[in-house]
């Protein structure tokens, strides 16, 4: 069996992960192995938080996509992590944010 050198394929795979990890602190954004772990964790958290935001938005009578579109039009600059924390920890303030997006 011939030896297979994965030059371009391996480099592209690593660079894809490192691009996603850009901005992470320390070696989490520069070393492939730690960056890969952090990226996987970040993607899991993002998926989980979108589900939380959607559930809280539906309680308030809208959907995730309409909420995010309304927030963008209203120029409300809250990231999804903060929205998810509001949805879980302080539903009253999340309702205020939803009403601001509905205008």
Structural domain range at position 12: 8-102
Tell me if 91 is assigned to some domain: yes
- Specify the pLDDT at position 1: 84
Residues in the chain, total = 103
Tell me if 57 is assigned to some domain: yes
Each residue of 61-91: pLDDT tens digit? 999 999 999 999 999 999 999 999 999 999 9
What is the percentage of the chain residues whose pLDDT exceeds 90? Answer: 91
**Is residue 21 pLDDT above 80, yes or no?**
yes
Using the structure block, give the residue that is written with the tokens 């938080």. Answer: 49
CB atoms within 10 A of CB 1: 3
CA atoms within 13 A on the CB side of 28: 10
For residue 54, give the CATH number of its domain: 1.10.1900.20
Instruction: Please give the angle made by the CA atoms of 80, 29 and 25, to the nearest 5 degrees.
Output: 70
Instruction: Read off the pLDDT of each residue in 19-33 and give the average, rounded to a whole number.
Output: 96
Question: How many domains are contained in the chain?
Answer: 1
Tell me if 31 is assigned to some domain: yes
């Amino acid at each position: 069996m011939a030896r297979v050198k994965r030059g371009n394929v391996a480099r592209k795979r690593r660079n894809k992960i490192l691009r996603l990890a850009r901005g992470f602190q320390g070696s989490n954004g520069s070393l492939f192995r730690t960056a890969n772990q952090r990226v996987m964790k970040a993607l899991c958290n993002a998926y989980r938080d979108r589900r939380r935001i959607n559930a809280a938005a539906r309680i308030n009578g809208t959907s995730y996509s309409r909420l995010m579109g309304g927030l963008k039009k209203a120029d409300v600059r809250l990231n999804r992590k903060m929205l998810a924390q509001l949805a879980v920890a302080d539903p009253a303030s999340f309702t205020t944010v939803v009403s601001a997006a509905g205008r």
